[in-house]
């Protein structure tokens, strides 16, 4: 009886350790809760109960990525400030444009990303001024797996900084 208690205690502590270390699935776990086909700038279609744009912001319902870029360029760029799914939506690219089954929570394979983002030199050059260029991996011999940094339904991150502290 005592050995069974100790075994369960050890297993429970191990599970708590894994949870506290942030061990989780690398794929996104829940599909977005969005209407079937909102217009690109209809933020309230998905964010009905949450204020995601400042109150004095112009109406975005009929906006596209180009419209947003007319104000948000340079230091106020929306890149890395909103999830990629939002940027794609503003470009008129639906979930089905990248995901065979949008209802699945699986991240698209990087080869899908490279169907549109196929100029590897441009990707590298776009971030070449950064101390750690996220578009070059000496470990992977070039452009790394896009999903390590770019997330569709949460803010992107620089995966390399998990080990390489600036």
Residue-wise pLDDT tens digits, 118-140 = 888 888 888 888 777 888 888 87
Q: SS3 for 146? A: helix
Reply yes or no on whether the pLDDT at 32 is more than 80. Answer: no
What would the mean pLDDT of 135-146 be, rounded to a whole number? Answer: 82
How many of the other CB atoms lie within 10 Å of CB of 156?
19
Yes or no: say if 104 and 31 are a contact pair by the CB < 8 Å rule.
yes
The residue count for the chain: 166
Answer yes or no: pTM beyond 0.75.
no
Strongest mean pLDDT among 26-30, 72-76, 154-158: 154-158
Res 37: pLDDT: 65
What would the mean pLDDT of 92-99 be, rounded to a whole number? Answer: 83
Q: Give 72-87 pLDDT, tens digit per residue.
A: 877 677 776 777 788 8
End-to-end CA distance of the chain: 51
Residue 119 has which token pair?
């100029």
What would the mean pLDDT of 31-45 be, rounded to a whole number? Answer: 67
Reply yes or no on whether the pLDDT at 16 is more than 80. Answer: no
**Percentage of the chain modeled with pLDDT above 70:** 78
Give the residue, 33 or 101, on which the prediction is more confident.
101
Residue partners of 52: CB distance under 8 A and separation at least 6: 43
What would the mean pLDDT of 6-23 be, rounded to a whole number? Answer: 62
DSSP string for 35-85: -SS--TT-GGGT-TTS--S-TTSPP-TT--HHHHHTTS-GGG--TTTS-HH
Which sign does the torsion angle of CA 31, 36, 40, 41 carry? negative
Yes or no: say if 141 and 119 are a contact pair by the CB < 8 Å rule.
no
Which has the closest alpha carbon to 100: 84, 118, 112, 85? 112
Region of 57 please: left (phi>0), alpha (psi -120 to 50) or beta.
Answer: beta
């Amino acid at each position: 009886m005592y050995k069974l208690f100790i075994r369960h205690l050890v297993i429970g502590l191990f599970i708590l350790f894994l949870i506290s270390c942030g061990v989780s699935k690398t794929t996104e776990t829940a599909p977005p809760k969005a209407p079937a086909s909102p217009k690109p700038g209809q933020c309230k279609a998905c964010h009905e109960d949450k204020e995601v744009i400042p109150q004095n912001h112009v109406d975005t319902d009929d906006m596209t990525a180009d419209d947003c870029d007319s104000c948000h360029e340079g230091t106020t760029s929306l890149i890395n400030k909103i999830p990629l799914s939002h940027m794609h939506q503003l470009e008129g690219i639906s979930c089905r444009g990248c995901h065979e089954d949008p209802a699945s929570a699986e991240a698209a394979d990087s080869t899908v990303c490279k169907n549109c983002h196929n100029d590897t030199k441009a990707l590298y050059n776009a971030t070449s001024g950064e101390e750690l260029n996220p578009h070059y991996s000496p470990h992977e011999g070039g452009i790394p797996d896009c999903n390590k940094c770019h997330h569709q339904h949460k803010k992107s991150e620089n995966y390399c900084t998990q080990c390489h502290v600036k």
